């Protein structure tokens, strides 16, 4: 074993280059494999809501309009929807599932203590629980009765509750929030916890992380532009035309765009998969290139070291041991490349990156990538080391 290290050291120049190549290959593999493992992991988690039969209507409103007039029209639209028996429930939401994601930089604190992870959030009006069939495990969803009471009502998920309140009951607690980018800005709040849901993940690839819904009152200065509606099962797509006409009757100069959450979901799936596919193809081809290059270099090595091999054969080394030696040398180089890059990659979580990626996913990704690198190295070494083992002592000694 020691002499394998020595042999590697003796040819450090050439080996350094191979090592550096493997180092970069491993980094690339890690990135792609971890992403893949992460996607597979999150895809299997429950979404926490149901998206079938839900439409998303985006309202493109006139910007230069009086705030009161806008509020009035928004309220009227919501009222108008109640006339339709096809519609079960409707709510304005700031961000739509399967859309841009719910990330936020805001920090929420309870009695001066904050959660380690930035929670994700959404800003919504009443009745969203009915639209998305959210499952409440404690308390209730916010409603009109919350109007005017001190503290903006919020509904949080269990993870949020565990992170901020631990084992304490979360209902009725008051929390505050602040914006770390503008530390001088006012601390906002209080926010009053009125309910806890099991979980809410914005899309198939979102992590299971602290989440909170803030209540938007129709008296607020800003009302979100997405309108989510749940339709009675069996409602046909043509209903959209009727709906659009009604809304356009209320707001003549606004435009509306109707989409379904199922469409959003398939778009989102396609986006993630094509991203992964592109990364995978590029990484795969790069690695294939590195592999072929390595075969070439090793081949050349074997040719160069005929003398050394011949000597070993003459002194009684078996063909198998010689193959093993070549393979061993390469495995040593691979280890020397994998260890520092693993150390490098292991730093990332400490810098606050990848905070949503669970440790086991991350470890799994690195482990799989390392496994792949070793497989690659072994595959590349097979042919050249077989060649090496076939060197005849006579031929080798002849050349000296």
Partner 1 sequence: MLKNYLKIAFKVFLRRKFFTFISLFGISLTLVVLMVVASFFDHFFGPFPPEVKQDRTLFVFGIHLEYPPEQEHMGTDSQDLSLYFVDHFIRPLDHVEKVSVREEFAHSVTHYNDRGDKVDSWLKHTDAAFWDILEFEFLEGNAFTEREVEEADRVAVINEATRRELFGDEPAVGRIVKVDKQRLRVVGVVANVPIFRHGSFADIWVPYSINDRFRARPLTGGWWDLCGEFQAMILAEKRSDLPLIQEEFRQRLSVLEFPKEELRVIGVHGYAETFFEYFSHELFDLEERGERYPRLFLGFIIGGMILFMILPTLNLVNLNLSRIVERASEIGVRKAFGASSRALVGQFVVENVLLTLMGGLLGLAASAGVLRFLSEIELVPYVQFHMNLRIFYYGMLLALFFGVFSGVYPAWKMSRLHPVESLRRRKK
For partner 1, the binding residues (CB under 8 A) are 14, 17-18, 20-21, 24-25, 28, 58, 60, 62-65, 182, 185, 237-238, 240-241, 244-245, 248-249, 252-259, 274, 282, 285-286, 289-290, 292-293, 295-297, 299-301, 303-304, 399
Tell the smallest beta-carbon distance from residue 298 to partner 1 (Å).
Answer: 9
Toward partner 1, which CB reaches closer, 263 or 360?
263
Of 113, 88, 130, 109, the residue nearest 212 (C-alpha): 109
Q: Which is nearer to partner 1, 143 or 304 (CB)?
A: 304
DSSP per-residue codes, 197-222? ES---SSTT-----EEEEEPPTTSS-
- The CA-based angle 166-169-174, given to 5 degrees, is 90
Contacts of 53 (CB under 8 A, 6+ apart): 230, 231, 232, 233, 235
Q: Which is nearer to partner 1, 277 or 314 (CB)?
A: 277
Rounded least distance, CB 290 to partner 1, Å: 6
Which one, 23 or 92, has the nearer CB to partner 1? 23
Residue of 227, 218, 229 whose CA lies nearest to 84: 229
Q: Which is nearer to partner 1, 65 or 314 (CB)?
A: 65
8 Å CB contact between 295 and 383: yes
Residue 99 Cβ vs partner 1, minimum distance, rounded to whole Å: 14
Query: What's the min distance (Å) between Cβ of 96 and partner 1?
Result: 14
Q: Shortest gap between Cβ of 238 and partner 1 (angstroms)?
A: 5
Distance of closest approach, residue 370 Cβ to partner 1, in angstroms: 18
Of 288 and 346, nearer to partner 1 (C-beta) is: 288
- The least CB distance from residue 156 to partner 1, in Å, is 28
Q: How far is the CB of 299 from partner 1 (least distance, A)?
A: 8
Give 293 or 393: the residue with its C-beta nearer to partner 1: 293
- Secondary structure E strands in 273-375: none
Helix/strand/coil (H/E/C) assignment for every residue in 340-368: HHHHHHHHHHHHCCCCCCCHHHHHHHHHH
Residue 201 and residue 46: Cα distance in Å, rounded? 8
Nearer residue to partner 1 within complex by CB, 62 or 133: 62
Q: How far apart are CA 174 and CA 209, in angstroms?
A: 20
Q: Which residues contact 311 (CB under 8 A, 6 or more apart)?
A: 393, 396, 397
CB proximity list for 392: less than 8 A, separation 6 or greater: 310, 313
The pair of three-digit structure tokens given for residue 308, joined into one six-digit string: 């050394």
Map tokens 């709040």 to a residue.
189
């Amino acid at each position: 074993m020691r002499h394998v290290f020595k042999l590697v050291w003796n040819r450090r120049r050439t080996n350094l280059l191979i090592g550096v190549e493997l180092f970069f290959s491993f980094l690339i593999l890690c990135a792609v494999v971890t992403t893949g493992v992460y996607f597979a992991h999150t895809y299997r988690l429950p979404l926490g809501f149901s998206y079938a039969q839900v439409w998303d209507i985006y309202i493109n409103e006139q910007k230069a309009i009086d705030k009161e007039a806008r509020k009035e029209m928004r309220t009227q639209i919501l009222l108008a929807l109640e006339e339709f028996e096809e519609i079960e429930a409707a709510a304005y939401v700031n961000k739509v599932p399967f859309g841009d994601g719910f990330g936020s930089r805001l920090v929420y604190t309870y009695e001066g203590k904050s959660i380690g992870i930035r929670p994700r959030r959404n800003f919504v009006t009443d009745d969203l629980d009915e639209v998305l069939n959210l499952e409440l495990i404690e308390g209730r969803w916010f409603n009109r009765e919350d109007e005017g009471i001190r503290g903006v009502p919020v509904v949080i998920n269990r993870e949020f509750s565990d992170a901020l309140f631990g084992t304490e009951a979360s209902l009725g607690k008051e929390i505050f929030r602040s914006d770390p980018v503008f530390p001088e800005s006012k601390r906002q709040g209080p926010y009053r916890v009125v309910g806890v849901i099991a979980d809410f993940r914005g899309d198939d690839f979102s992590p299971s992380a602290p989440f909170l819904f803030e209540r938007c009152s129709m008296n607020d200065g800003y009302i979100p532009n997405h309108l989510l509606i749940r339709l009675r099962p069996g409602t046909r797509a043509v209903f959209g035309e009727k709906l659009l006409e009604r809304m356009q009757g209320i707001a003549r100069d606004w435009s509306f765009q109707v989409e379904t959450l199922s469409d959003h979901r398939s778009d989102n799936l396609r986006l993630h998969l094509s991203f992964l596919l592109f990364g995978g193809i590029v990484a795969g081809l790069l690695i294939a290139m590195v592999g072929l290059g390595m075969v070439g270099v090793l081949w050349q090595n074997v040719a160069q070291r005929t003398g050394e091999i011949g000597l070993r054969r003459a002194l009684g080394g078996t063909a198998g041991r010689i193959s093993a030696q070549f393979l061993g040398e390469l495995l040593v180089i691979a280890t020397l490349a994998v260890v520092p890059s693993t150390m490098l990659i292991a730093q990332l979580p400490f810098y606050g990156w990848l905070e949503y990626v669970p440790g086991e996913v991350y470890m799994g990704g690195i482990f799989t990538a390392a496994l792949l690198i070793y497989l690659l190295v072994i595959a590349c070494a097979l042919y050249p080391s077989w060649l090496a083992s076939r060197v005849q002592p006579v031929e080798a000694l002849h050349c000296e």
